[in-house]
Structure 1
């Protein structure tokens, strides 16, 4: 089953790579004329996907940079965020799934659940206030990070070292991953919640990496191919991120594989705390700014 999964990842992302390469070559003059220093974009691609491999959102980091530097217009920003990460995320998934031991049933169940959530979710999630969801999710992630840190300091029992889930725990994981897939549609990334969930259910935190990357590598290229077809994305950014992002991914994967369980727990705590804190800050700061402008 794992081999089948790896082949499917290669096929889906290979199709995306072919379509992107064809479009880039067709519009190469326009692409090279797009804003952004080539060397800077190459270094950025390696750095941002190095961090992304640890679960830090490349969407959030890239949005801040591209808007500040005016590398792409707001209309092309969503497409660029999707197209630039498709190949690096595929490399993450291939590397993690093939090197980190994880129960096949758990892996496939969680990936399928998140994919279904991403597909079905928009019909329900769009009716919910995104700001309220982010506040609750942010608070939940901060609390989860506190529990992880409490475990590190022996204040509460810490996470386990299992490589899979069974029974009620597997059902809980599937339901939550379905929800996380749906929440992607309101801009809430699934990396940090997946990390926190895997940890809370007593599984080795490293197992979260192949699960969260595996789910993304099937959903992202589907949307990315549509942006390529419409031409609504930054071609030069996507080129440099696709090439040099792989370097950052491979460097980070090597580090994750060489870390022991204790160090991975610290990494998970840091990512979950950062994600929850930044989510709360963004929503609360937005409300405060809005109140001041109305006053």
Structure 2
């Protein structure tokens, strides 16, 4: 099964690169080195932190706001899903081959997330800029709360006696349903990592089991929803090549070179910054709705 998953992930990388290349040729976008350098820097930082379990959507939204990266925030969910897809697939390749999770649990929860994301993306592409800003603002606040709870050790306390690497019965049904909802939210730009980690902890899985589940979920749903965002032109390819290269480098550094890294202060800083970004997005939405 692991070999099949690896092959599928490699196919996703090749297919997504082909789609991005096709879109670049269709739009005749000239290579802008400044955009690619900025995108590369954002990708490196956010996917480095993503590999460590912090997530990438909160930090990406914050950096997009700080650098005025997007001209139209309606494109925020699509751009993040497309740009982070290949780095996230790279993460999944590391974790699914190292951490062994029950096959039925892994496949069913990941499949539910993909289906949820496909349904959710059909809704997201029809939302206007004000609604996207409000959704992202709420998502950032909720994610920040979950991150803060995790930093205080409350989430890990739930899993202190967890020893399972698989689910069955009602816990599996709840896990599938929960990941389906998280997949829908992911298509709207709501990060899946923090809530998925809480979900698997509550269901009795070992903390390490969260990594292949949440990373493989994102690795497969991102290419899937990218098709919808590309079809409806709700994305930006600004600096996309630099973003992908920087993101992959960030993943490799985090997965292979970082053995022990204190993220205590950084984690709290991200919580504070994401709350500020949420405020800015909500304020912008209020102004535009007048």
| TM-score bucket (shorter structure) | 0.7 to 0.9
Stretch of structure 1 that moved more, 207-216 or 140-149: 140-149
Which residue of structure 2 aligns with residue 117 of structure 1? 116
Q: Distance in 2 between matches of 1:286 and 1:63?
A: 10
Stretch of structure 1 that moved more, 71-80 or 138-147: 138-147
Q: Distance in 1 between matches of 2:228 and 2:286?
A: 38
Stretch of structure 1 that moved more, 130-139 or 91-100: 130-139
**Is the CA contact (8 Å cut-off) linking 2:143 and 2:191 kept in structure 1?**
no
Q: Distance in 2 between matches of 1:69 and 1:63?
A: 10
Which residue of structure 2 aligns with residue 242 of structure 1? 244
Please identify the structure whose Cα radius of gyration is greater. Answer: 1
Q: TM-score scaled to structure 2, two decimals?
A: 0.74
How far the C-alpha of 1:122 sits from its partner, in A, is 6.6
Q: Distance in 2 between matches of 1:63 and 1:136?
A: 12
Q: Distance in 1 between matches of 2:286 and 2:79?
A: 32
1:193 alignment partner, one of 195, 220, 237:
195
Counterparts in 2 of 1:145-156, with a 5 A limit?
Answer: 145=150, 148-149=153-154
**Is the CA contact (8 Å cut-off) linking 1:138 and 1:280 kept in structure 2?**
no
Counterparts in 2 of 1:71-82, with a 5 A limit?
Answer: 71-74=69-72, 76-82=75-81
**Is the CA contact (8 Å cut-off) linking 2:56 and 2:191 kept in structure 1?**
no
Which residue of structure 2 aligns with residue 56 of structure 1? 54
How far the C-alpha of 1:149 sits from its partner, in A, is 3.8
Q: Distance in 2 between matches of 1:34 and 1:76?
A: 21
Q: Distance in 2 between matches of 1:39 and 1:281?
A: 25
Q: In angstroms, what is the RMSD of aligned CA positions?
A: 4.2
2:146 alignment partner, one of 141, 148, 171:
141
Distance 1:144 1:218, change over 3 A: same
Which residue of structure 1 aligns with residue 68 of structure 2? 70
* Alignment size in residue pairs: 279
Which residue of structure 2 aligns with residue 171 of structure 1? 173
Which residue of structure 2 aligns with residue 209 of structure 1? 211
Q: Distance in 1 between matches of 2:198 and 2:123?
A: 24
Which residue of structure 2 aligns with residue 19 of structure 1? 19
**Is the CA contact (8 Å cut-off) linking 1:161 and 1:204 kept in structure 2?**
yes
**Is the CA contact (8 Å cut-off) linking 1:31 and 1:236 kept in structure 2?**
no
Secondary structure in 2 aligned to 1:163?
coil
- Give the gaps of 5 or more residues in structure 1: none
**Is the CA contact (8 Å cut-off) linking 1:114 and 1:181 kept in structure 2?**
yes
